[in-house]
Amino acid sequence: MYRHDGEDVFVIDSHIHHWDASEENIIHEGGEQFIQCFYDYHSAFTPEERLWDMDEYRKYSADRMIEDLFRDGHADMGIFQPTYLSEFYEDGFNTIEDNAHLTEEYPERFVLNGRFDPREGEAGLEELERQKDEHDIQGVKLYTAEWKDGSKGWRLDSEESFEYLEKCAELGITNIHAHKGPTIRPLNRDAFDVADVDDAATSFPELNFIVEHVGFPRFDDFAHIGAQETNVYGGLAVVAPMAHARPRKFGEIMGELLFWVGEDNLLFGSDYALWEPEWVVEAVMEAELTQDQRDEFGVELTHDVKKKIIGENAAELYDIDIEERKAKLRDDELSDEFDMADQYGEAAAD
């Protein structure tokens, strides 16, 4: 939790990974380019004293992740967003099964999402059903620029994708997280275009479409789609660290988002391990709009708005009762190990 304005604020980091970009796992030069590009983002925004070395960044331990998120990082819960990139990494980059080990060990701390790729046809639909049956996933992470068998991407508004979205609706997989943001080498920039979210969101009003990275570098397109479609949300991974590295730009982006998309449709994410949540949470929670930004956009980045963004909105999407979850977290293994029980309130009376 994060103490702000005299209140302990519940933090859900809605965008985390446990990846393996070790040299042993890379089977294509694209895998090396991908992790090097990640590290460039890490280096550009991270405070100098918090930089990781490259070997550490390639593959980090589960213990390190737990400490970075929950002991040091103010996070109370995290949502895994898998990314396979199987043409680049022999065992996948950030897989459901690897993430599931941590979710099973700490079920009150983690939410596990799945994934799909409509180019996998009938086999992919069966795999989606397996993910629901085995892990009861509530959401999927989609990477529309992933390479597969000579194809360099797919569209969310395609006929094949709609078949998968219909399956999601049928199975109760309601949260569709689509990477629509910065291109990572060597992937195709246009394959991450946010435009395909529009028809998908209109066609499936029963699903929630979380546009990760709010469409950068096509932010204006995302903002207008988000204003039009009430089931479109903005994931702030990549934007959030700008609160530290580029505070005025962060204020400008947040002003636009609050004006067009609204405070109820924005979700915090650190994008761990691109960045550690500790300093990202602190920067976001302490950020303020300048007076000229408040005047221009007619919005305020208040304590209550930040509470929604940092945890309450994700809790709403994933049916998490924060007070009930706090009671469970008070008595969990990590609260005991890291001496965190008191922040979740008093123990229940016998």
- 241, 47 Cβ separation under 8 angstroms: no
Q: Which residues contact 44 (CB under 8 A, 6 or more apart)?
A: 245
Q: Is residue 276 part of a domain?
A: yes
Residue 253: how many other CB atoms lie within 10 Å: 20
Greater model confidence, 91 or 216: 91
Q: Is residue 339 part of a domain?
A: no
Domain enclosing residue 241, as ranges: 9-319
Give the Cα separation of 127 and 230 in Å (integer): 29
> What's the mean pLDDT in 3-15?
96
DSSP code string of 23-59? GGGB-SHHHHHHHHHHHHHHHHHS-GGGPPPHHHHHB
Q: Is residue 336 part of a domain?
A: no
Tell me the pLDDT tens digit for each residue of 304-332. Answer: 999 999 999 999 999 999 999 999 999 99
- 47, 78 Cβ separation under 8 angstroms: no
Q: Is 346 a residue whose pLDDT tops 80?
A: no
Longest CA pairwise span in the chain (Å)? 62
Q: Is residue 349 part of a domain?
A: no
Peptide bond into 82 cis (omega under 30): no
What pLDDT sits at residue 349? 44
Q: Is residue 308 part of a domain?
A: yes
Q: Is residue 305 part of a domain?
A: yes
Confidence of residue 83 (pLDDT cuts 50, 70, 90): very high
Q: Is residue 329 part of a domain?
A: no
Residue 173: how many other CB atoms lie within 10 Å: 24
Number of domains in the chain: 1
Q: Is residue 338 part of a domain?
A: no
- 88, 22 Cβ separation under 8 angstroms: no
CATH of the domain at 160: 3.20.20.140
pTM to 2 decimals? Answer: 0.97
